[in-house]
Structure 1
Amino acid sequence: MDTAPIVVHRSRGTGGRRVTIRGKIIGLAFNDRDLVEFLRQSGLDETDAEQLVDSDSQMIEWRGGDRHHYG
């Protein structure tokens, strides 16, 4: 089974979670809004990015912590 193309990694000691898209580090998200912005910058329409994050899509793999928790 392939992993999801978007991975939100475990929380960092200083807060925030590293986000990778297809193995490339995109940035450090501190909330869902940051994640939406990273997806928008990578080419998704903002509305599509918001829906992707809000829907708990299988396109996003949340590693080492609960979904939508960045602390």
Structure 2
Amino acid sequence: MASDRPVVVYPPDEQGGRRVRVDGTILGLAYSVRDVAAFMQEAGLQGWDEMDVVRSALIEWRGGGLDIWTSCPSSAPALATAPALATVI
């Protein structure tokens, strides 16, 4: 399915990274809304921050919205701004 939006954030992979495509070019993996904002800045939107990403109609979120950063359906969605937690055994 083609998107009419110039930015597509794909579903998370096994590590929680989401591919970011801008105007047909994959820019890399984002692990948070902050990363998406950085990609938007690289694409020429220098003043963009996390709130611009949250509010933007330019972005199509596939496989979940901006609050989904894990691919495991059995776990609760990780918030984009939450720090990663390490498990110590």
The TM-score normalised by the length of structure 2 is 0.67
2:54 paired residue number:
54
Structure having the higher strand fraction is 1
1:18-52 Cα shifts (integer Å, max 9, x gaps): 00001100010000111111111111123xx2243
User: What is the alpha-carbon distance in structure 2 between the residues aligned to residue 3 and residue 68 of structure 1?
Assistant: 22
Distance 1:68 1:33 in 2: 12
Higher RCO (CA 8 Å, separation ≥ 6 residues): 1
Q: Does 1:34 align with 2:11?
A: no
Higher alpha-carbon Rg: 2
- TM-score w.r.t. length of structure 1: 0.82
Distance 2:35 2:67 in 1: 11
Moved over 3 A (4+): none
The structure with the largest helix share of the pair is 1
For 1:53, give the aligned amino acid: V
Q: Residue 20 of structure 1: SS of its match in structure 2?
A: strand
How many pairs align? 68
Q: Closer, same or farther in 2 for the Cα pair 1:20/1:2, shift >3 Å?
A: closer
Cα separation, 1, equivalents of 2:15 and 2:3: 30
